Amino acid sequence: MRKSRWILAAVFAVSMTAQAYAGEWKQDETGIWYENEDKTWPTGWFQEGGDWYYAGGDGYLETGWLQYQGNWYYLGNRDGKMYADCVVNTRDGFYRFGSDGVGERITGDYTGWVRDDRYWHYWKPGGYIISGWQTVDGVRYYFEDGIMKTGPAVIDGSSYFFDDDGQITTGLATWEGELRYVKEDGSLAVSETMEIDGVTYLFDENGVGAIEETPSVYANWPYKMPVQIPPEEEKSEHHKAADRMAEQVLSGIVNDSMTQRQKAEAIYAWVRGNLRYSGHSATRDWGEEAYQGFRRRHGDCFTYFSVSVALLSKVGIDSIEVVRSTDNGHYWNLVNIDGQWYHFDATPRTAGGYFCLWTDAQMLSYSSRHYNCFAFDRALYPPTP
């Protein structure tokens, strides 16, 4: 099943310019627009979170059909995202959109995956959308009212858990960025403590899990705990792949003769110089996001944070996740260098700044001049020098 929506065509990347700085979505009664950190907005084609959009001269997103340089594109009615690598059923019939977003009408009967603004469907000849249990390309899916099911579901009295690709899964799993445990009967572990391969997990009333064990050196730690590195046997395949990519990067930028500070500075320079800000991360699982960051070389502040954790942990540098207190909308690292903590934020900002091993005073001084971008609850984190 091919359901990717990456837009990678070279001709598309050349002809359209992407925004590369932090910002946020805004909406009013007229429509939706993207506001950059400096309060300006993009017009024409721009990229955000791996997706392409088209904004008019007033900054508002266009939706529906768009003709551009002789080609037809389709922009989602709900969010303005350009459709790519998918088939869409419109009032004018079926259209196939390539990786460059260009639409081409399909003649004759169509069989295959179709998506709309929110969901995936599977279409059979004659305009029939399948429902219930169906096997497609050897994989079993469940369709409810024609919509491919994801997440937890109770079907005919039995519980199931479907991942984001619609496939049934069991065991430790990540869904919507949170750790879950799916039992053999398809139900989620809820309000339970489970020991899995020597690691104790606590699952709350919503089924969201966390590792109970904490490093003994932080047993009486009065601040937010450093990021925990799971045992090797508990790491996902993507996390293990991220470890391998981190080791490959480190082999070229650090050596045993370097101090902790020098290693941290080298890691900062690599992350800052090799990732591109695109305003979107795939998950809030740092191990998974580190993998995505190494592989795609772009993301948002959580991607920069996650890749930094993967590299820093490999050279023995502990890291705490710092979250902006005003809106929980920005992440960065607080790192332990020779027993003292420093701020480490590799995410680029429109106003500039190289936030490598900064003190609290430096961060708060910069923050006060730039919309409180680094506001944080000092009671949660160990003080810097």
| Residues of each domain in the chain carrying CATH 2.10.270.10 | 10-107, 150-213
pLDDT value of position 18: 41
Mean pLDDT, rounded, for 268-274: 97
Higher-scoring residue by pLDDT: 371, 5 = 371
Instruction: Burial-class residue 29 by CB neighbours within 10 Å (0-12, 13-18, 19+).
Output: exposed
Question: In the predicted model, is pLDDT for residue 285 greater than 80?
Answer: yes
Higher-scoring residue by pLDDT: 88, 21 = 88
Mean pLDDT, rounded, for 12-17: 38
The pLDDT-based confidence of 213 (bands split at 50, 70, 90) is: low
Instruction: Measure the CA–CA gap between 336 and 9, rounded to whole angstroms.
Output: 42
pLDDT value of position 128: 67
pLDDT value of position 19: 40
Where does 10-107 sit in CATH, by number? Answer: 2.10.270.10
Tell me the two tokens of residue 126.
């004659």
Bridge partners (DSSP) of residue 11 are: none
End-to-end CA distance of the chain: 53
Instruction: Measure the CA–CA gap between 173 and 199, rounded to whole angstroms.
Output: 15
pLDDT value of position 22: 54
Using one digit for the tens of pLDDT, what is the confidence trace for 110-156?
Answer: 778 887 767 788 877 766 677 899 888 888 899 988 889 988 888 88
Question: In the predicted model, is pLDDT for residue 365 greater than 90?
Answer: yes
| Residues of each domain in the chain carrying CATH 3.10.620 | 227-380
Mean pLDDT, rounded, for 11-39: 67
Using one digit for the tens of pLDDT, what is the confidence trace for 296-318?
Answer: 999 999 999 999 999 999 999 99
pLDDT cut 70: percent of the chain above it: 90
CATH class held by domain 227-380 = alpha beta
Question: In the predicted model, is pLDDT for residue 252 greater than 90?
Answer: yes
Highest-pLDDT range among 3-12, 21-30, 201-210, 355-364? 355-364
Question: In the predicted model, is pLDDT for residue 329 greater than 50?
Answer: yes
Strand runs labelled E in 28-131: 32-36, 44-48, 51-55, 64-68, 71-75, 86-90, 93-97, 103-105, 112-115, 120-124, 128-129
The pLDDT-based confidence of 198 (bands split at 50, 70, 90) is: low
Tell me the two tokens of residue 118.
């929110």
Higher-scoring residue by pLDDT: 9, 187 = 187
DSSP string, 164-182: TTS-B--EEEEETTEEEEE
pLDDT value of position 9: 31
Among 2.60.40.10, 3.90.1200.10, 2.40.128.110, 2.10.270.10, what is the CATH number of 150-213? 2.10.270.10
Instruction: Measure the CA–CA gap between 12 and 99, rounded to whole angstroms.
Output: 9
Question: In the predicted model, is pLDDT for residue 190 greater than 60?
Answer: yes
